[in-house]
Amino acid sequence: MDFSLSPEQAMLRDSVERFAAEHGDFPAWRRRVAAGEAFDASAWAQMAQLGWLGIAVPEAAGGMGFGPVETMLVAEGLGRSLCRVPYAGSCVLAPALLAESDPLLGDIVAGTVQVAAAVSEAEGRYDLAHVATSAVRSGGGWVLDGAKSFVPDGATADWFIVPARTAGGVADTAGITLFLVPATAEGLQVQRHRGPDHHHHAKLVLRQVEAAVLGGVDGGLGPLEAAVDRAIVAHLAEAMGSMEALRDTTLAYLKTREQFGATLGSFQALQHRMVDMAIACEEARSLLYLAALQLDAPAMARRRAVSGAKARVGQCAMFVAHQAVQLHGGVGTSDELAVSHHLRRLRVIDVLYGDAAHHLRCFAAATDAMAA
């Protein structure tokens, strides 16, 4: 049992901290957003240069071949600096599914191609097994019909990973196959929208779209769940960076802002609220570690750790974000302060790949299955 970082990991953490400090210039962030920039292209290019886009990509495919801990370190920095990049989807989820020989991996590492996962459908809400989108053999290939709801960072994606039903009923766990669909495919409609987090997401409508199989036919759900879990942990690390930024900035505000002739931090009611924010951060970090370190554990143990973390970190994150706004008072509600934007991003992270309520149910089911 060891929660310390190796010397290499500590170096990575330090350079991520420098990166976050450089990109944490909030007025510049607002200018980019106001200009309608869909993602932070300069940060993305710098991350490519540093090799971070290939952290989770095998060395044989041009990446660094690191594990969940390194991914976590990078994602925390993204959260701290509110960096708007499609990291978890393109650099964590997609590489977990692509074959080592897939040329897309090299483009992902170089930052020239973005891959997004279109894993949810409106009727299924957060259930990954709910796949009504159909795939039918046609000649030598497959043709897809259906629709996908919320695709995180989908607006700028060049490729989509699309689960489709190749056998069985709509909610069956078997009979799901993963496909790779280029954004330019004929019959594919990409409906782009901007989220409250200023990330640009998308919805897909597929009408007779030709696509290539990714992985094995009918057995796509297992690998998809494992890949999504890796993305979840990356998003939780991002949330962690965001939460700690809120904790620190709120604490600094309490120490300087004066009302009634005293600093806010001298009032016990506010001290105790601040302590509860600090405790929420400790809880979240503990769960983040447990989840990151069990991504390669047997499926049920992984399910329990990841869903437990997704549920509770989400709750802790919303608590911290809401209290950060509250303790900042009126100015906390302003668009001009990073505080409100952290809240908005955390709100979106909470619903990515299932919200707290959904994952609490998954956690309970995994707990019961492990006890049985």
Partner 1 sequence: MNLAFSAAEEAFRQEVRAFLAANVDGPMREMVRTGMRPEPAEIQAWQRRMHAQGWSAPTWPREHGGTGWSPTQYFIYETEAARAYAPVQPHQGLELIGPIIFTYGSEAQKAKYLPRILSGEAWWCQGYSEPGAGSDLASLKTRAVRDGDHYVVNGQKIWTSYAQAATNIFCLVRTEVKPRKQEGISLLLIDMDTPGIRVRPIITLDERHHVNEVFFDEVRVPAENLVGEEGRGWGYGKVLLDRERGISAAGALRLAQFVRVVKERAAAVRDSGSALLAQPDFRGKLAQIEVEMLALEGMSLRTLADAEAGVDSGPRGSMLKIRWSELVQRITELWAEALGTDAALMEPYTGVEAADEMPHAMAAYLHMRVTTIYGGANEVQRNIIAWRALGL
Residues near partner 1 (CB under 8 A) are 1-5, 9, 69, 251, 254-255, 265-266, 268, 271-272, 274-276, 278-279, 282-287, 289-290, 292-294, 305, 308, 311-312, 360-361, 363-364, 367, 371
**Spatial separation of the C-alpha atoms in residues 226 and 222, rounded to whole Å:** 6
Q: Which is nearer to partner 1, 137 or 255 (CB)?
A: 255
| In the complex, minimum distance from the CB of residue 267 to partner 1, in angstroms, rounded to a whole number | 9
Nearer to partner 1, 5 or 170 (CB): 5
In angstroms, the CA 168 to CA 234 distance is 32
Residues 132, 170 contacting (CB under 8 angstroms): yes
Residue recorded with tokens 């299932």: 354
**Cα(6)–Cα(280) distance, integer angstroms:** 26
Judged by beta carbon, residue 189 or residue 259, the one nearer partner 1 is 259
Alpha-helical (H) ranges within 93-212 are 94-97, 104-110
Of 9 and 149, nearer to partner 1 (C-beta) is: 9
Residues with Cβ within 8 Å of 107's Cβ and at least 6 positions away in sequence, in order, are: 113
Nearer to partner 1, 143 or 293 (CB): 293
Radius of gyration, CA atoms only, the chain: 21
Cβ 238 to partner 1 shortest distance, Å: 18
Please, which residue, 84 or 304, has the CB nearer to partner 1? 304
Structure tokens at 239: 């949330």
CB of 246 to partner 1, least distance (A): 14
- CB contact at 8 A, 343 and 334: no
Of 116, 130, 90, 127, the closest CA to residue 202 belongs to: 116
N residues, the chain:
372
* Least Cβ distance, residue 285 to partner 1 (angstroms): 8
| Least distance (Å) between residue 323 CB and partner 1 | 14
CB 114 within 8 A of CB 161: no
At closest approach, how far in Å is the CB of 271 from partner 1? 4
Give the residue with the Cβ less far from partner 1, 121 or 355: 355
* Beta-ladder partners of 18: none
d(CA 164, CA 188): 14
Q: Which neighbouring-strand residues pair with 179?
A: 162, 213
Distance CA(72)–CA(85), nearest Å, equals 15
CB of 229 to partner 1, least distance (A): 16
Q: What's the closest the beta carbon of residue 277 comes to partner 1, in angstroms?
A: 10
Kindly tell me which of 220 and 354 has the beta carbon lying closer to partner 1: 354
**Of the two residues 52 and 289, which places its CB atom closer to partner 1 in the complex?**
289
The residue type at 178 = L
Q: At its nearest, how many Å lie between partner 1 and the CB of residue 118? A: 29
Nearest to 232 by CA among 60, 98, 117, 332: 117
Residue 105 CB neighbours (<10 A)? 23
